[in-house]
Structure 1
Amino acid sequence: MGTPLGDFIRAKRDSLQPESLGLPQRDRRRSPGLRRADLASRAGISVEYLTRVEQGRDRNPSVAVVNALADALSLDPAERNHLRYLTKITGGECSAHTAPAPPRLHVRPSVLRTLRLLEPGIAVVTNRLGDVLARTSGYEAVTRGTGLLDTDAPNVTRYVFTDPRARTFFADWDGVADEQAFDLWLGPSIENHEWLTAELASTAGLDFTRRLNRHVVPPRGVLELDHPEGHRLRLLRETLELTDDAQQLVVFLPADAGTAQAVDELRHRSRGGLRSIS
């Protein structure tokens, strides 16, 4: 049985063309990408050992090997961080033999006070599983009528993969779906990850599972929304990691004058203040 670490290394190897790394072009192969022998040579490890890592038969590669593989695959900083994280959970440091359980949903009072200072801006506190834990009135204004906040416990990931309205609301639905699937790997614990993925795998189907297992680090560019009231919103995102809580505070800023005007119009039609489920 494979591991998240082995799956990621194999996926990156398959996505690389030898000539992009200065290697000679080989004869036509049955499988795409970089040969296992070429990656092993670049990383300074044996093909046999690389095979064991990719197949999940070696779950504890050393820091030196992990760094060598990152260099050999020409990973960018975000991909390197993901590789280190997958090494950690594959080695068992984040896993436990307990039943999966929902994540903690409490938001610290100081975080709520910070969020209140951002009113009437667009801001939200979520965890990596996509649970919307607290939000400003501005966030409610730009999501009103989309179905995202219709439930008592809204979850962005569940909404993206199970609500047909999400494919209209998010102009680049594929990009957002990749982001939400990737973030599940960064959940508060491996148990939390399994809890939500088990639910979504049965309802969202193969598309969700494919995105989850290919380990593509999303670029997270400008977020484009098609609001039901006819506005195209282009929003920049600034994220503050609340590491101790396994949560994040995300602030959305208009990327252009047209978006700023549209957001003002939506806010004026919406009433309300800070909302928190905790």
Structure 2
Amino acid sequence: MGTPLGDFVRAKRDSLQPESFGLPDRGRRRSPGLRRSDLAARAGVSVEYLTRIEQGRDRNPSHAVLNALADALSLDARERNHLRYLAKITGGACPGHRPPAPPNREVRPTVRETLRLLEPGMAFVTNRLGDVLAYTSAFELVMGGIGLLDAEAPNLTRYVFTDPRARTVFPDWDQVADERAFDLWLGPSAEASEWFQVQLAPVAGPEFTRRLQQHLPPPQVALRLDHPAAGELRWHREKLELPSTDAQELVVLLPADETTAQAVERLRHGRPLRAVG
């Protein structure tokens, strides 16, 4: 049985082309990407040891090995952070670890007050699982129109993978789905992420489970939204991590163009702003 760390190393290795490292093309092979022997040589470890890591038989590689793998795979800063995080949760995934449990959904009063000060802007509080915990009235106005807030406990990840409307609402659905699956590895805790994955996998199907094993940080791009009433909206996203919380973050959506700003104003027209959700 594999591990998150092993899955990541294997996925990243498969995504690399030998010629990008000045290695010769050795003809057709059964799997794409960099050969295990080439990666082992670049990292200065044995092929047998790299195999144990990828297959989940070694769960506690040293920091030196992790750094060597990061260099050998040419990881960027975000990917290096993710590699270290996966090593941490993989090393703790042994018998006796805490059972899966949902995260705390409480939002601090000072954070709710911060949202109030952001009115009439588009902002919300979420966690890495995708729970929508609090939001401004503008967020309610826009996202309520796509059905995201229909559930008693709205969750963006669940909406993306299980609501048929999501594929129409998000023109770049694959990008958004990759983002949501990747963020689960950075959840409030390994136990909370495991709890959520267990809940979602049966209803989300292979589109979800396949992405869970990719482990490659998706690129940061503008969010496109095909709104049923306002047309295409484009947003830049600023994410601020909140200290001393269960991996909560404050996300501010900024119009990426004048068309989006004007469309939101038209939605607002004639409707008073409401309190934070």
Answer yes or no: same fold by TM over 0.5.
yes
1:112 CA displacement: 1.1
1:100 aligned counterpart, secondary structure: coil
Which residue identity does 1:187 align to in structure 2?
Answer: G
State the Cα deviation string for residues 175-217 of structure 1 (Å, max 9, x = none): 1111111111111111111111111110011111001111121
2:256 pairs with 1:255? yes
Identity %: 70
Equivalent residues of 1:15, 1:34 under 8 A apart: yes
Which residue identity does 1:264 align to in structure 2?
Answer: E
State the Cα deviation string for residues 34-73 of structure 1 (Å, max 9, x = none): 1111001101111111111111111111111101101100
Which residue identity does 1:51 align to in structure 2?
Answer: T
2:124 aligned counterpart, secondary structure: strand
Aligned residues: 276
1:119 CA displacement: 0.3
Q: Cα 1:95–1:124, aligned 2, differ >3 Å: closer, same or farther? A: farther
Query: Where does residue 170 of structure 2 map in the other structure?
Result: 170
Q: Cα 1:164–1:13, aligned 2, differ >3 Å: closer, same or farther? A: same
Q: Distance in 2 between matches of 1:93 and 1:112?
A: 35
Which residue identity does 1:20 align to in structure 2?
Answer: S
2:40 pairs with 1:11? no
Query: Where does residue 112 of structure 1 map in the other structure?
Result: 112
Query: Where does residue 91 of structure 1 map in the other structure?
Result: 91
1:252 aligned counterpart, secondary structure: strand
Q: Cα 1:265–1:27, aligned 2, differ >3 Å: closer, same or farther? A: same
Report 1:19-98 matches (<5 A): 19-92=19-92, 97-98=97-98
1:144 CA displacement: 2.4
1:274 CA displacement: 3.5
Equivalent residues of 1:40, 1:47 under 8 A apart: yes
1:275 aligned counterpart, secondary structure: coil
Which residue identity does 2:159 align to in structure 1?
Answer: Y
Q: Distance in 2 between matches of 1:96 and 1:169?
A: 42
1:123 aligned counterpart, secondary structure: strand
Which residue identity does 2:258 align to in structure 1?
Answer: A
Q: Distance in 1 between matches of 2:263 and 2:94?
A: 44
State which drifts further: 267-276 or 184-193: 267-276
Q: Cα 1:146–1:94, aligned 2, differ >3 Å: closer, same or farther? A: farther
Query: Where does residue 276 of structure 2 map in the other structure?
Result: 275
Gaps of 5+ in 2: none
Equivalent residues of 1:115, 1:123 under 8 A apart: yes
Which residue identity does 1:26 align to in structure 2?
Answer: R
Q: Distance in 2 between matches of 1:257 and 1:275?
A: 25
Q: TM-score, normalising length from structure 1? A: 0.95
Q: Cα 1:267–1:220, aligned 2, differ >3 Å: closer, same or farther? A: farther
State which drifts further: 246-255 or 19-28: 19-28
Give the superposed CA RMSD: 1.5
Q: Which runs of 4+ in 1 moved over 6 A?
A: none
Query: Where does residue 265 of structure 2 map in the other structure?
Result: 264
1:122 CA displacement: 0.1
1:126 aligned counterpart, secondary structure: strand
1:94 CA displacement: 10
Q: Distance in 1 between matches of 2:196 and 2:240?
A: 23
Q: Cα 1:114–1:28, aligned 2, differ >3 Å: closer, same or farther? A: same
Query: Where does residue 210 of structure 1 map in the other structure?
Result: 210
1:145 CA displacement: 2.1
Q: Cα 1:153–1:270, aligned 2, differ >3 Å: closer, same or farther? A: farther
